[in-house]
Amino acid sequence: MSLENFAYTVFTSVMVFIIGQLIKQEMDNRNNSSRKRKSIISSLIAETECLLQLIQNRLDSAKDIAPDSKAFITLPINGDYFRVFDSVAADLSALNSNILAAQTIQTYMEVKGLFDDVKWFTVNAFELKKDLLLINKETSPQLNKYIQNQIIYFDEIVKERAPKACRSLEELIQNLKNAK
């Protein structure tokens, strides 16, 4: 074997090895990306299913307490229910779908807004109930109107926003499952 053939064989072998290593690294990266994507999707599904159940349980409790939604009730929501979303929000691009990432963000913002409003009402419910008891003909019309508006707004949350959040969560869960 000539020196030229030997050099060519060594060069070719080294190039094949390097290209093989690059291909292996790319395949490992794709596998890691796929695992990360599946992990994010599975985690989001678990969390959104829990959120959906939580809201539905609170709505069922509200219907038992005040079937006509005229009484002022609270739907206690305490705690941080968005740990998964908060931890994966920066990695939503791993979903490989801008539409699914946008839907995820939109749904979570809708549910977070709902929870913030419910928390506000829970914190202020005692004062509003106390004010309601004080309402009579001598009470200022402005206070009366304010309290009635708060009750109407809470009624809107119970009758409209919470069920809409449930529908959004159900749709997101289905889309996440389809993306698996």
Q: Is residue 169 exposed (0-12), middle (13-18) or buried (19+ Cβ within 10 Å)?
A: buried
Q: Taking the C-alpha atoms of 151, 155, 157 and 162 in order, what is their torsion angle to the nearest 10 degrees?
A: 150
Task: Write down the mean pLDDT value for the chain.
Answer: 79
pLDDT tens, residue by residue, 58-85 = 888 766 665 555 444 555 677 788 999 9
pTM equals 0.71
Least confident of 39-43, 57-61, 93-97, 135-139: 135-139
**How far, in Å, are 40, 55, 87 from residue 50 at the CA level?**
15, 9, 16
**How far, in Å, are 67, 99, 121, 139 from residue 71 at the CA level?**
9, 40, 13, 20
Taking only Cα atoms into account, the Rg of the chain, rounded to an integer number of angstroms, comes to 28
Q: How far apart are CA 38 and CA 163, in angstroms?
A: 28
Q: Are 59 and 118 in contact (CB under 8 A)?
A: no
Q: How far apart are CA 166 and CA 75, in angstroms?
A: 15
